[in-house]
Amino acid sequence: MKKKVLLGMSGGVDSSVSAVLLQKQGYEVIGCTMQLWEPKEENRAIQDAKQICDQLGISHFCVNCQQEFRTKVVDHFIHEYQEARTPNPCVECNHYLKFGIFYQKAKELGCDYIATGHYANIEFSKKYHQYVLRKSQEEKKDQTYFLYSIPKEKLKFILFPLQHYANKEDIRKIAKENNLFIAQKKDSQEICFIPDNCYPKFLRKYGKYKSHKGNIVLKSGKVLGQHQGLIHYTIGQRKGLGISYSEPLYVIELDQEKNEVIVGLEEELYKKTLYAEDVNWMISDQLDKMIKCKAKIRYRSTEAGATLYPEGDRIKVVFDVEQRAVTPGQSVVFYDEEGIVLGGGKIDKD
C-alpha cells in the first residue's frame, strides 16, 4: 500500500517538482494550497497549483488559513515593528502554519507525511539517535535558517523532496523534462503579504500605525536631524537617513522609549554578544551547560564560531568574531560542525 503524502503547493517550480519526485518515489500525493492572505494576491498561485496537479493526475484542494495567518504572522509582524524590532515572518509562518496547521490537516486526512519544497535535509542521525534537520547541499538556497522552530518530534513525518539537489537549475530542468508550464516561473523574493515590499505603507494600513517623528542622534546624544518614524529604520541601515556628517553613519540602535534613531560609525555596528529568547531546541530539550557551535544571525550570513550559555529563559551567545548589525527580532540559528541544526531563537534586546 502506498504511503500518503500531503504536499504544500504554492504554484511555484519547487513545490511542483516536489510533486513529480514524490510520485516517482511511489508515494500517493495530495496537493494542498494554503490560503493565507487576500484572495486577489493568491488566485494565480492557486490556479497554477491546481493546473499542475491536474496534469500529474493528483488531487488538489485549498484550506483557508487566513484568520490564523493574520493572528500568528501578520499581527506578530505589526507588533514587532511597533516594538522597534525587525521580525522574520517566514519563521512564524513555518512554525504555526506550514508545520502546524498543515501538519494537523495531514493527520486528519490519514496522511503518513507532509512535504514541502524547502531546501533542507531531514535524516536519521546515528550521532544524536534521532531525526535531524541538516543544511541543504544547495548552499545558496539552504532554508534551515527559517525552519529551526519545527518541533523535533515532527521531523520524522516531514519530507523535503529537493534535499538531494545541488542547484536550482537542476530543479528547473526536471520541470521542463516533465512539461510543467511553470518551469521558468520566477521565484518570489518579497514577503508574500507585502508584494510591493513597502513595509511602512503596510504597517500604516493594517496596523493603523502612526509615525511619530523623533531625533536622529549620536551615542553622545548630539542631535543630527529628525527621523520619520522608527518603522522606517533597521539596524545597519545607511541610506535614507537624511543627515550629513564628516564620515558615513549607520543605524546602530532604535530607542523606542526615547523615540530616537541612534547612529554611529561602521565599527559601532559590530558586537560579539547577543541574547536569544523563544529558543527551540532540535536536539536536546534544553541547554543546561555551555556548548560550542556555529551560529548565524541572518539568512544570507555565514555561520561563525560561537559559545552558548544558559541564562534563565534566554541564551547568551558569544561569537568568536564580532558580528555586523545584530538585529533584535531577527533569528539566530545554531549548527554543529556537520551542518545539523541544534536549535535557534529570536534575537532579544540587550
Residues acting as catalytic residues: 93, 192
Cβ atoms of 68 and 75 closer than 8 Å: no
Q: Name the one residue in this structure whose C-alpha cell is 519547487.
A: 14
d(CA 182, CA 174): 11
Between the CA atoms of 188, 194, 200 and 206, what dihedral angle is there, to the nearest 10 degrees?
-160
Of 238, 124, 165, 159, nearest to 13 by C-alpha is 165
Task: For residue 23, count other CB atoms closer than 10 A to its CB.
Answer: 18
Instruction: Count other C-beta atoms under 10 Å from residue 195's C-beta.
Output: 13
DSSP 3-state assignment of 220? coil
Strand partners, 307: 292, 318
In this structure, what C-alpha cell is assigned to residue 195?
508584494
56: helix, coil or strand?
helix
Backbone angles phi, psi at 176, to 5 degrees: -65, -45
Q: How far apart are CA 254 and CA 268, in angstroms?
A: 14
β 28-35/59-64 pair status? parallel
What length does the chain have?
350
